[in-house]
């Protein structure tokens, strides 16, 4: 096994997504994931506490990038403009490999109630990171929470379009946010 080769974390994610797609989440074991990735089980557990966490491997990074982008938005930026800056910054974390596995990841999540629940928790965490960053900018709590939820929805919609081969992720998330802004304005 090439357990000392670089990229073990990424190989583990790809192996897991492939196995989840081929045989289902519940039928896939950590041993199978490690074997497919060419690492040992102990290497798996150095990177992830369990197989469920493979699918949210970049969550902390994504939350950090969203918050940094919001914090660094121009001083006069509206809450949604700050969220757009966060989405733009977060888009930098997505690699060509992320785009390649996105459709298989989506299918794996859709096929597992446990993964759907974990995905929902990820959304809550991303919204919380954005809300905290917006409040730090002086945005009132209800406005910050609403802008953050729109940001999460824009990220999901943009990510979906991007994973289907449309444009760059930053372009897709910005378009999704603008679409949501227009939809919100039509609610009056």
Domain ranges in the chain are 8-53, 58-185
Average pLDDT over residues 12-32: 91
Please give the model's pTM, rounded to 2 decimal places.
Answer: 0.85
Query: Please, what CATH class does the domain formed by 58-185 belong to?
Result: mainly alpha
Say how far apart CA 170 and CA 85 lie, in whole Å: 9
- Give the model's pLDDT for residue 3: 43
Say how far apart CA 122 and CA 16 lie, in whole Å: 18
Q: What is the pLDDT of residues 110-169, one digit of tens each?
A: 888 888 888 888 899 999 999 999 999 999 999 999 999 999 999 999 999 999 888 899
Q: What share of residues in the chain are helix, strand, coil (percent, to 5)?
A: 75, 0, 25
Q: Which CATH number fits domain 8-53: 1.10.10.60, 1.10.760.10, 2.40.30.10, 3.40.190.10?
A: 1.10.10.60
- Give the model's pLDDT for residue 171: 94
CA 158 to chain CA centroid, Å, is 11
* Cα pseudo-dihedral 169, 109, 29, 11, rounded to 10: -10
Greater model confidence, 114 or 33: 33
* Cα pseudo-dihedral 79, 85, 88, 93, rounded to 10: -100
When pLDDT is cut at 50, 70 and 90, the band that residue 5 belongs to is: low
Contacts of residue 83, Cβ cutoff 8 Å, sequence gap at least 6: 70, 130, 134, 147, 148, 150, 151, 154, 177
């Amino acid at each position: 096994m090439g357990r000392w080769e670089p990229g073990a974390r990424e190989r583990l994610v790809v192996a897991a997504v492939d196995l989840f797609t081929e045989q289902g989440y519940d039928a896939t074991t950590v041993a199978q994931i490690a074997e497919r990735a060419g690492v040992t089980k102990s290497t798996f557990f150095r990177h992830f506490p369990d197989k469920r966490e493979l699918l949210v491997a970049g969550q902390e990074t994504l939350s950090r990038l969203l918050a940094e982008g919001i914090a660094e938005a121009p001083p006069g930026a509206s809450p949604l403009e700050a969220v757009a800056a966060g989405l733009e910054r977060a888009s930098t974390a997505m690699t060509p490999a992320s785009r390649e596995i996105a459709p298989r990841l989506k299918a794996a999540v859709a096929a597992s109630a446990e993964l759907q629940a974990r995905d929902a928790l990820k959304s809550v965490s991303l919204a919380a990171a954005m809300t905290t960053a917006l409040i730090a900018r002086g945005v009132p709590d209800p406005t910050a929470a609403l802008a953050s939820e729109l940001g999460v929805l824009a990220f999901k919609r943009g990510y979906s379009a991007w994973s289907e081969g449309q444009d760059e992720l930053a372009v897709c998330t910005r378009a999704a946010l603008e679409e949501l802004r227009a939809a919100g304005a039509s609610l009056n």
